[in-house]
């Protein structure tokens, strides 16, 4: 955590701080978090993993968006890994049935 000694008379205080008068500017840096972000940046910049992540945006993310927005599946209603796995399976069956019905209706 980095903190200024005295921000009261600083001419740039209004641009730098949003805190109340009398409080100094504090900056917190989490080294582990910064290392993780750098690792992910390096992974995404690699061609092989970059292609995988691009496919994920198309293949996986819309399904979860549909579950949350249209089916209102925001949280599990059961406890335990086994029961949650079953509930997720039922939700995904509903998504797949919807896709199947749209596909057969178009044909």
- CB < 8 Å & 24+ apart, contacts of 83-91: 91/67
Instruction: Specify the pTM.
Output: 0.47
Tell me the per-residue pLDDT of 3-23, one tens digit each, with 9 for 90 and over. Answer: 777 777 777 777 777 766 667
Give the contacts of 29 (CB within 8 A, at least 6 positions apart). 1, 2
Which pLDDT score, from 0 to 100, does residue 21 have? 66
By mean pLDDT, which of 39-43, 60-64, 67-71 is the weakest?
60-64
35 pLDDT more than 90: yes
Residue 27, beta-bridge partner list: 2
Tokens of 34: 């910064």
Give the contacts of 15 (CB within 8 A, at least 6 positions apart). none
Distance from C-alpha of 73 to C-alpha of 76, rounded to nearest angstrom: 8
């Amino acid at each position: 955590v980095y903190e200024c000694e005295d921000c009261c008379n600083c001419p740039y205080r209004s641009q730098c701080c949003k805190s109340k008068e009398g409080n100094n500017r504090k900056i917190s840096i989490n080294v582990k978090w910064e290392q993780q972000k750098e690792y992910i940046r390096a992974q995404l910049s690699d061609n092989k993993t970059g292609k995988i992540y691009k496919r994920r945006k198309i293949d996986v993310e819309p399904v979860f968006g549909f579950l949350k927005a249209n089916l209102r599946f925001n949280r599990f209603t059961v406890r335990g890994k086994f029961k949650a796995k079953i509930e997720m399976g039922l939700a995904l069956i509903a998504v797949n049935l919807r896709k199947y019905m749209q596909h057969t209706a178009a044909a």
